[in-house]
A and B are shown apart, each in its own frame.
Chain A
Amino acid sequence: MAKLLRLVATRLGLGLLTLLVVSVLIFFAVELLPGDLAEAVLGQAATEETVEAMRRQLGLDRPAPVRYLEWLGGALRGDFGTSLISGAPVGEAIATRFANTLFLAAYAAVIAVPLAILLGVLVALLRNSIFDRVANVATLTSISSPEFFVGYILILFLSIRTGWFPSNASLSGDMSLTDQLYRAFLSALTLVLVVTAHMMRMTRAAIINLLASPYIEMARLKGVPPWRRIVRHALPNAWAPIINVVALNLAYLITGVVLVEVVFVYPGIGQLLVDAVAKRDFPIVQACCLIFAATFILLNLAADVGAILTNPRLRHPK
């Protein structure tokens, strides 16, 4: 048990270190701006004095490492500075939008994860049949399609032509939960379609990998029926790779969400990021990038820890 804790602690420490390095990268990337931030904000027409005043206002007269520590300290407390365009605090703008994005990602995940595992097991059971081949083609197609393609197809058929769901997913705080779920349905469905395909393929691969092992052969020879062989014998050993794939796909959801939010005009952090990039509002860009990267790293970490916990062989290294 102590060994297990140490293994998990090492992973967590490594994750924190990665996060720190990434935060350094995100902060100092802006330092690479041709000229500096003040010049970039004010443009070429600005006079020397206004640029100088802007530098003081932004605190650019102090050395970069000091500013980095301040930025990081603020970020830990949820204070990301003020927007260059509107002057409003970035943290407030992000908080509600990040909650919306998490809501969308969770919505998609709740549908996608059970569906993908169920379908993956089913396809593994029916492998090499025509259904398996059709599923293979269908999932490959779904993975290969850009999110906005899937999104617009859903809008065209489920919203415009039939009028079943709204194409515009803008939420407001006073909506009831069912109303929010209804409004965000098409955005969530887009994410579900893209993510399910990938998870399903990996689940199938993980199970089929195991089916070649001698102990499954043994189960077959003693007369265990196929579904039982997969559900009782193969699946418990396939959990580690499946958990890994689920976590990785949740991490993918976090980034896939950017395009989907833009297609459906969903008020999430992804849309905020895209707007900020177009307007070159760097504090918002940095804050959004840091949040996305942190979520991504955390989920990858969860994948690693999950793999350690479900795999007894990793707990007892030789």
Chain B
Amino acid sequence: MSILSYVFIAVLALGLGYSLVRRDRELTITVVVVALLAALFYLLGGVGSLNVLSIAAAVLMGAAIAAYAFRFLLIAVLPQGGAQVMRTAPLTAAFGMLVILIYAIAGLFAPLIAPYGEAEVVGSAFAMADDQMILGADQLGRDLFSRLIYGARNTVGLALMATVLAFIAGAIAGLLAAVKGGWFDQVMGRLADVIMSIPSLIFALLILSIFGTNLGVIVVTVAVIYSPRVFRLTRAVAGNIVVMDYVEAAKLRGEGDWYLIRREILPNSTAPLVAEFGLEFCFVFLLIAGLSFLGLGIQPPTADWGSMVRENATLISFGVVTPLIPAAAIALLTVAINFVVDWMLYRSSGLKEGQG
């Protein structure tokens, strides 16, 4: 058994004692459930799986502490208004922001952070981790860590581009449909219906098989696939605002469509739209990662998380974890964004869930 497992068991025992002394029923149940889970793991998988569970617990603990520290830092650094908002943010949201910040830094300063170039062959194929390469080498002997950092730039950058394009197209169409109504609304609505009635991955595969896999095609295809979602949401949100009295008043003043969109509708629909942008990014990101995993996304030698998983997948059959790291990087970013969006939706809806 590793030291971590002993620490894990000790923490569980301490937690149980503390909760019993404080008569905190919820905490007691939690500790007992975790202990039962650990026992189950031990019975099923022996010491090895207990160690894995302890590592997972330690990672969760570390993430919580990091999120707590980051929230503390933000409250101290931000001006009055921002600090006030952060004080009410749950730990998950703080964790999400921290992760997004780290990814942004990794993406922006990739050449400064990465020790080697993304296509530079440094060691032998599948070399183990050492002082030079902290995560080892990939199937061609390139430094996995450097490629991971560059991947933050390439994969996230591509997804961001596609999302922005989808968002602009969908939002403009949705706003115009809400303001103009009539045939424009009908045509756009039916078009969105048709696009949304084809599963997104299948649609992407169809288009990519025809036009080949270059970056422009990927961005446009993905944008077309996901813009109907934005269109529907924007149209629904804007549709509720268009019937308000103040919009009616602006219309009677003789303001044009563009003025209505810019000055009356957009300021009142930012919260749902920003949240939708986050969700949309997650969908786009997962689709692009899936395409790269299938070998139809960003082409080599450009570093990209989806194709890195595919290229190194053979290592998994030897019980090595490294091919999972790029996949984990994808999952971590989507989780982080979802955490932040979840909190934003909760804040903007202002609805407290039914009590009692």
Chain A interface residues toward B at CB < 8 A: 18, 21-22, 25-26, 29-30, 32-34, 127-131, 136-137, 140-141, 143-149, 152-153, 155-157, 160-162, 167, 208-212, 216-217, 220, 251, 254-255, 258-259, 262, 273-274, 276-278, 280, 282, 285-286, 288-289, 292-293, 296-297, 300
Contact between chains at B201 and A258 (CB < 8 Å): yes
Contact between chains at B210 and A25 (CB < 8 Å): no
Q: Which 10 A-B pairs have the closest CB atoms?
A: A211-B354, A144-B334, A149-B327, A212-B354, A255-B199, A145-B331, A277-B209, A144-B335, A292-B202, A160-B319
Q: Which residues from A are CB-within-8-Å of B337?
A: 144
Q: Give the Cβ gap from A280 to chain B, nearest Cβ, in Å.
A: 6
Contact between chains at B338 and A143 (CB < 8 Å): yes
Task: Closest A residue to B295 by CB, please name it.
Answer: A278
Contact between chains at A254 and B199 (CB < 8 Å): yes
Known contacts A18-B194, A255-B200, A130 near B26 by CB under 8 Å: yes
Q: Which residues from A are CB-within-8-Å of B29?
A: 130
Given A129, A216, A286, A293, which contacts B199 in the complex, CB threshold below 8 Å?
A293
Q: Which residues from A are CB-within-8-Å of B339?
A: 140
Q: Which residues from B are CB-within-8-Å of A26?
A: 206
Given A130, A156, A220, A262, which contacts B30 in the complex, CB threshold below 8 Å?
A130
Contact between chains at B209 and A145 (CB < 8 Å): no
Q: Does B273 contact A (CB under 8 A)?
A: no
Contact between chains at A297 and B201 (CB < 8 Å): no
Q: Does B181 contact A (CB under 8 A)?
A: no
Q: Does B32 contact A (CB under 8 A)?
A: no
Give the total number of A-B pairs whose CB atoms are below 8 A apart. Answer: 157
Q: Give the Cβ gap from A18 to chain B, nearest Cβ, in Å.
A: 5
Q: Give the Cβ gap from B313 to chain A, nearest Cβ, in Å.
A: 7
Given A152, A278, A282, which contacts B323 in the complex, CB threshold below 8 Å?
A152
A-B contact pairs, 14 of them (CB 8 A): A18-B193, A34-B211, A130-B27, A136-B342, A140-B335, A144-B331, A146-B334, A149-B324, A149-B327, A156-B324, A208-B354, A262-B294, A296-B198, A296-B202
Contact between chains at A149 and B210 (CB < 8 Å): no
Task: Closest A residue to B194 by CB, please name it.
Answer: A21
Q: Give the Cβ gap from A157 to chain B, nearest Cβ, in Å.
A: 7
Contact between chains at B313 and A152 (CB < 8 Å): yes
Q: Does B154 contact A (CB under 8 A)?
A: no
Complex alpha-carbon distance, A161 and B181, angstroms: 60
Complex alpha-carbon distance, A280 and B296, angstroms: 12
Contact between chains at B293 and A259 (CB < 8 Å): yes
Q: Which residues from A are CB-within-8-Å of B295?
A: 278
Contact between chains at B294 and A146 (CB < 8 Å): no
Of A274, A282, A300, the most chain B CB neighbours within 10 A belong to: A274
Q: Does B165 contact A (CB under 8 A)?
A: no
Given B198, B294, B313, which contacts A22 in the complex, CB threshold below 8 Å?
B198
Interface string of B35-53 (1 = CB under 8 A from A): 0000000000100110010
Q: Does B316 contact A (CB under 8 A)?
A: yes
Complex alpha-carbon distance, A27 and B186, angstroms: 24
Given A155, A254, A259, which contacts B290 in the complex, CB threshold below 8 Å?
A259
Task: Closest B residue to A204 by CB, please name it.
Answer: B353
Q: Does B260 contact A (CB under 8 A)?
A: no
Q: Which chain B residues (288-325) contact chain A, with CB distance < 8 Å?
A: 289-290, 293-296, 306, 309, 313, 316-319, 321, 323-324
Known contacts A152-B313, A152-B316, A156-B324, A282 near B356 by CB under 8 Å: no
Given B208, B319, B338, which contacts A161 in the complex, CB threshold below 8 Å?
B319
Q: Give the Cβ gap from A248 to chain B, nearest Cβ, in Å.
A: 11
Contact between chains at A18 and B197 (CB < 8 Å): yes
Total interface residues in chain B, CB < 8 Å: 56
Contact between chains at B209 and A144 (CB < 8 Å): no
Contact between chains at B205 and A146 (CB < 8 Å): no
Q: Give the Cβ gap from A217 to chain B, nearest Cβ, in Å.
A: 7
Given A146, A157, A209, which contacts B52 in the complex, CB threshold below 8 Å?
A157
Contact between chains at B334 and A145 (CB < 8 Å): yes
Using A161-B48, A211-B356, A293-B198 as known contacts, list a sample of 12 further A-B pairs with CB atoms less than 8 Å apart, ordered by residue number in A: A25-B198, A32-B210, A127-B353, A130-B27, A130-B30, A140-B338, A258-B294, A262-B293, A278-B295, A293-B199, A296-B199, A296-B202
Complex alpha-carbon distance, A217 and B49, angstroms: 46
Complex alpha-carbon distance, A255 and B199, angstroms: 7
Contact between chains at A289 and B356 (CB < 8 Å): no
Task: Closest B residue to A151 by CB, please name it.
Answer: B327
Interface string of B261-294 (1 = CB under 8 A from A): 0000000000000000000001000100110011
Q: Give the Cβ gap from B254 to chain A, nearest Cβ, in Å.
A: 37
Known contacts A167-B317, A296-B198, A149 near B331 by CB under 8 Å: yes
Q: Which residues from B are CB-within-8-Å of A25?
A: 194, 198
Q: Which residues from A are CB-within-8-Å of B30?
A: 130-131
Q: Give the Cβ gap from A158 to chain B, nearest Cβ, in Å.
A: 10
Complex alpha-carbon distance, A146 and B339, angstroms: 16
Q: Does B328 contact A (CB under 8 A)?
A: yes
Task: Closest B residue to A271 by CB, please name it.
Answer: B294
Q: Which chain B residues (162-204) contact chain A, with CB distance < 8 Å?
A: 193-194, 197-203
Q: Give the Cβ gap from A147 to chain B, nearest Cβ, in Å.
A: 7
Task: Closest A residue to B27 by CB, please name it.
Answer: A130
Q: Which residues from B are CB-within-8-Å of A21?
A: 194
Q: Which residues from B are CB-within-8-Å of A156?
A: 316, 319, 321, 324
Interface string of B202-233 (1 = CB under 8 A from A): 11011111110000000000000000000000
Complex alpha-carbon distance, A155 and B318, angstroms: 11
Complex alpha-carbon distance, A21 and B196, angstroms: 12
Contact between chains at B210 and A278 (CB < 8 Å): no
Of B289, B316, B338, the most chain A CB neighbours within 10 A belong to: B316
Q: Which residues from A are CB-within-8-Å of B330?
A: 145-146, 149
Complex alpha-carbon distance, A208 and B354, angstroms: 6
Contact between chains at B324 and A259 (CB < 8 Å): no
